[in-house]
Structures are given as C-alpha cells and as structure tokens.
Amino acid sequence: MTQRRPMVAGNWKMNGDAKLAKALFVEFNTTLSGHSPEVVLCPPATYLESVKHEFEQSALSFKQSVIKLGAQSVSEHDVGAYTGEISASMLKDLGCQYVIIGHSERRSLYGETSHTIAEKFAAAKKQNLTPILCIGESSSEREANKTFKVIGDELNTIIERNGINAFDNAVIAYEPLWAIGSGNSATPEQAQEVHAFIRKRLLEVSPLVGENIRILYGGSVTPSNAADLFAQPDVDGGLIGGVSLKPTDFLSLCTIAMSV
Ligand SMILES: O=C(CO)COP(=O)(O)O
C-alpha cells in the first residue's frame, strides 16, 4: 500500500493576526522535528506575508519540505474587474502552494456553487496551486441518508469539469457541516466510512489517483479526539479550524498525526 504523508492544515478563517504567526513559529521551532507531517498554514490573505516572514526567519532547517503556505479561497478568474477578489497567480506571487476550495462557509455564506467551485479548482491547477477541496454533508442530508449522494455529486462536478487527473496531487477534506465548529466531531467510524467511499470513488476512475490522494478530516478536531480519527486507514490528517489558532494544541495535532 502507498505510504501517504500525513498532512495537518490550519484554516484560521477570519481570525488571527501577525502575533499568532510569530507564536506558531516559536512553537514550531521548539517542537517540530524532522519527523513531521506536512503542515499547511492558511491565514487570512492579509497575513500571508507575515506567516511567510516568520517562516523565512525560522530556525527550522527542514522547513522548506515541511511547512507550506495556503490561502483560504481564490478567484475563478485569471484577471480583471472583480473587486475584492484575489487570483491564483497573485497567491503564487505571495508564496502560496495550497488553496482551500469549496469550504462550506464559502458555499453557504457567499453563494459558491458546485459550478463556481469547479472553476476555482481549475484556476488553482492552472497556476500549479494545490487545491484542498472541501466536501461534506449537512445534518439533514445525513439524516435523510444522502451523505454518499452529496459527496459523490461534489466529486463528480470536479471530475466532469477538470478530469480525474486534476486530482493528481490534490487534497480532499471531508468536513461534515454538522461537525464544523460545533464541538461535535464525526466519530472515527463515521469519518472512515466516508473517507473510504471517497477513495473508492476515485480508485474506480484512476487507481493511481485514488491510492495516492490525501483525504483529510475536518470538523471539531482536538488533541483529545485526533489520535482515533487520524488512525483510520483512509484518514490522512486533518483540516483544523479553531485549534489552528492555539499554537501548543495545533502542534500536538502535528505530533499525533505522525504517531498513529
Ligand atoms: O472548518 C473547519 C476547517 O476548515 C473546521 O473547523 P473547526 O476545527 O473549528 O471545527
């Protein structure tokens, strides 16, 4: 079986500041060793430079291979009259390697549709940014036994627009809406069931993509539930919201990701 490198990505959402960037790197310098998951930091766009600065000042000799910069969203357009938007090439200029696409908050609060998300995925790939594609069902969809239908449809929209090879090197985050910020994480069994479904779906189209793709779990991950979640065979790490704002706890998630 392929050894997929675990990943822990921190989505700050609209939180944090330059001080948080500094505090995180103090923690990284003292805690992270060469034996580390891939860590992706996704601060608000205004703090990408601050995180990059701390990263460059950091004493971590292996930092290039370990800590990566990511954005929380990207425009589906290359350039033009789109007030307030940031293009994939601009994120590249800032040193980003990853971008979160299709977060449920973007879908529900800002009206991003499956179509827009597929276009954003394409825009990111065009600039060699790695998409972290978020998919997940609401509590009513789960209660109506529609989880696999929702997840399958979200994957299909991306495959139809971009082809299966667009998932080469991409990352998927399974984030059930009911688990985000609720303190009510999916159980390890619930997460594994959906992750296995996602991997099987991709394996059917491309064995190579299905085997290699990293599928993160997101939704109320904490140092107390991470070990059981990350130990599941198809869970390759986590996309972390609230705990990514707490340097010590975030670092303990990174340690847990390597120890399971
Ligand atoms: O939405 C999330 C990450 O993108 C998860 O947020 P929480 O970890 O705060 O539940």
* Fold topology of 7-58+67-259: TIM Barrel (3.20.20)
Q: Which residue has a Cα nearest atom 6 of ligand 1?
A: 241
Q: What per-residue confidence (pLDDT) applies to 82?
A: 98
Half-sphere exposure (CA, 13 Å, Cβ side) for 57? 12
Helix, strand, coil: what percent of the chain each, to 5? 50, 15, 35
Residues flanking ligand 1, CB < 6 Å: 11, 103, 175, 180-181, 218-221, 239-243
For the complex shown, is ipTM > 0.90? yes
Distance 242 CA to ligand 1 centre (A): 6
Cβ contacts of 113 within 8 Å, gap of 6 or more: 107
Q: What per-residue confidence (pLDDT) applies to 147?
A: 98
Q: What per-residue confidence (pLDDT) applies to 62?
A: 58
Q: What is the DSSP letter of 131?
A: E
Specify the DSSP element, H or E, that contains 39: strand 38-42
Atom of ligand 1 lying closest to residue 219 CA:
10
Alpha-carbon span 219 to 4, nearest angstrom: 21
Alpha-carbon span 36 to 255, nearest angstrom: 7
Q: For the chain, what are the domain ranges?
A: 7-58+67-259
Alpha-carbon span 31 to 145, nearest angstrom: 42
Distance 30 CA to ligand 1 centre (A): 25
> In 58-115, where do the E strands start and end?
67-71, 98-101
* 111 labelled ligand-binding: no
Distance 240 CA to ligand 1 centre (A): 5
User: How many residues belong to the chain?
Assistant: 260
Question: What separation in angstroms does the CA of 204 have from each of 159, 164, 198, 210, 231?
Answer: 12, 10, 10, 8, 24
Q: What per-residue confidence (pLDDT) applies to 35?
A: 78
Mutate to test the pocket of ligand 1, among 7, 8, 11 (most ligand atoms within 8 A of CB): 11
User: pLDDT, tens digit, for every residue of 24-70?
Assistant: 998 888 877 777 899 999 999 999 999 999 988 887 765 666 899 99
Q: What per-residue confidence (pLDDT) applies to 238?
A: 98
Burial of 57 (0-12, 13-18, 19+ CB in 10 A): exposed
User: Within the chain, which residues score under 50 in pLDDT?
Assistant: 1
Question: What separation in angstroms does the CA of 125 have from each of 162, 167, 179, 195?
Answer: 9, 9, 28, 23
Strands 130-135 and 171-174: parallel
DSSP 198-223: HHHHHHHH-HHHHHH-EEEEESS--T
Q: What per-residue confidence (pLDDT) applies to 199?
A: 98
Query: 256, 32 in Cβ contact below 8 A?
Result: no
Atom of ligand 1 lying closest to residue 218 CA:
5
Q: What per-residue confidence (pLDDT) applies to 64?
A: 64
Burial of 154 (0-12, 13-18, 19+ CB in 10 A): buried
